[in-house]
Amino acid sequence: MPITERFHNGLSRRDALRAGSLGAGALVTGAWNAGAQAGDRSRDSTFGRAKSLLFLWLAGGPSQYETFDPKPDAPAEIRGIFKPTATSVPGVQICELLPRTARMADELCIVRSMSTGDPNHESGGYWVTTGHPYRGSNMRATHPTDWPAFGSIVKMLKPSSTVPFSAVVLPEPIIANPGVFLPGQNGGFLGQRWDPEFFRCDPTVPDFRIEGFELPADLPPARLDGRHTLAQQLDSRAPWAAHSDSARQQVRTIREAIGIVNSTAARDAFRLDREPAAVRDRYGRTKWGQSLLLGRRLVEAGVRMVFVNWPREPGDMNVGNPLWDTHSNNNARMKDALCPQFDGSFPALIEDLNQRGLLEETLVVAVGEMGRTPTFNPQGGRDHWGNVWSFLLAGAGVRTAQVVGASDRRGAEVRDGKVTPSDLTATMAHLLGIGPDAMFRDKADRPHRVTDGDPIRAALG
């Protein structure tokens, strides 16, 4: 099944490949060079341990009680109906709905003290995906002054050396009801050039393919090369085009498109049909599970950061508990739909990375934009709660088999070791070898620091 995605200037990859016949003035060589100072205030042995980052976005905000921070001693109206279960780490328990995750907890670092105080999907999520609090006036729309997504920073300061993609988003972007593309997931004030590569796709479909990795039937390689050469010759006679932002963007688009079709590694990474059926079954034949498998293939091919968003289900725009946003029927939704998918696919990913020797060089983060309220509402749901929630770390440079931070006895506030999204961003930047102190410049040549946070030292090992 062909899956298509459009570049943010409106060209599809197929359009860009055909653009070899464009005349002078439409193409120009050269690109804006973003300066950076890759540094870290304490370059310990964990600095730069991660070659890649798998960022798993649990959209909607999972309940901490029914996942990684159960409160068995709290009153029933807080703890809910589910019991805790022992993990492979002595003395550490998580919810009984995650038995497979519990058995491999020795491969994880559970952080129980994330806090923003922001109970909004839009602005709270923005903080987690960028590392900076939202300062805009309309959090349900993107704006040219938005801070760039962390994937954009990775794309700029730590680009891939083996494939044409440095930051990829699967299988869909973060959207709010009814289909609003939320800020904090594109290039922001850096501009479209630094947008991550968005692949809206369904890797569960038979004969899954990404359109644009193959040349059109009527455009063989020799003809493409000829068109590209001709375009470059025409460009050299139009020096005025070097001063045109749109022309520079156009030539970059074409160059990147040609790089895509010439990249065997990138093309092969999307060939899920080359995975043994048993491996695909192990991940689960769901959109989430197959997206995790696709993410593993992409980091294996050399993609620096893969952002895997928890996908929406058909029709969930019209229900009161879409994704992990369990405003109603929290218990049934967690038991029947959400936790079983997570508990099947996430452990499969960690085990697979480990068996392939990739876990030592791949940082894995599983996090949402908030937690859920200590008590249930009249619809049997838990509402938004930004005061404290939990997330997981695994892989390169992470000290595993431990819990970092703690919530209070009600699971409602941070008790020890408060962590902010800025600290998570700093941790990721540290482990990727970028460093939280790294500086980059925007289009106006103004310097910016990657994040104001500090690495979570207790999580590093």
Q: Are 459 and 111 in contact (CB under 8 A)?
A: yes
CA distance 452 to 184: 16
Show pLDDT as tens, one digit a residue, over the chain (461 residues). 434 343 333 334 444 433 333 333 222 222 233 333 344 444 589 999 999 999 999 999 999 999 999 999 999 999 999 999 999 999 999 999 999 999 999 999 999 999 999 999 999 999 999 999 999 999 999 999 999 999 999 999 999 999 999 999 999 999 987 889 999 999 999 999 999 999 999 999 999 988 767 666 666 656 656 665 666 666 666 665 566 666 665 555 555 655 655 668 888 999 999 999 999 999 999 999 999 999 999 999 999 999 999 999 998 988 999 999 999 999 999 999 999 999 999 999 999 999 999 999 999 999 999 999 999 999 999 999 999 999 999 999 999 999 999 999 999 999 999 999 999 999 999 999 999 999 999 999 999 999 999 999 999 99
Give Cα separations from 382 to 78, 94, 373, 388 (angstroms).
Answer: 10, 18, 5, 14
440 token code pair:
């980059």
3-state helix, strand, coil in the chain (%, to 5): 35, 15, 50
CA distance 370 to 339: 17
Q: Are residues 119 and 264 in the same domain?
A: no
Q: Are residues 226 and 104 in the same domain?
A: no
Residues 115-145 pLDDT 10s: 999 999 999 999 999 999 999 999 999 999 9
pLDDT of residue 405: 98
Q: Are residues 155 and 226 in the same domain?
A: no
pTM of structure: 0.86
Q: Are residues 376 and 277 in the same domain?
A: yes
Q: Are residues 46 and 174 in the same domain?
A: yes
Q: Are 74 and 64 in contact (CB under 8 A)?
A: no
pLDDT of residue 221: 59
pLDDT of residue 135: 96
What's the half-sphere exposure (Cβ side, CA atoms, 13 Å) at 54? Answer: 30
Give Cα separations from 384 to 32, 261, 325, 362, 437 (angstroms).
Answer: 41, 44, 8, 31, 32
Q: Are residues 333 and 408 in the same domain?
A: yes
Q: Are 154 and 53 in contact (CB under 8 A)?
A: yes
pLDDT of residue 177: 77
Give Cα separations from 238 to 232, 253, 404 (angstroms).
Answer: 10, 18, 59
Q: Are 169 and 199 in contact (CB under 8 A)?
A: yes
Query: 167: domain CATH number?
Result: 3.40.720.10
Q: Are residues 158 and 145 in the same domain?
A: yes
Number of domains in the chain: 2
CA distance 414 to 420: 11
Domain residues for the domain of 348 are: 42-213+273-459
CA distance 374 to 411: 7
In a domain, 35, yes or no: no
Which amino acid is present at 379?
Answer: Q
pLDDT of residue 317: 87
16 contacts: CB under 8 Å, gap ≥ 6: 7, 253, 254, 256, 257, 258
The full length of the chain comes to 461
Q: Are residues 291 and 316 in the same domain?
A: yes
CA distance 360 to 47: 13
Residues 64-76 pLDDT 10s: 999 999 999 999 9
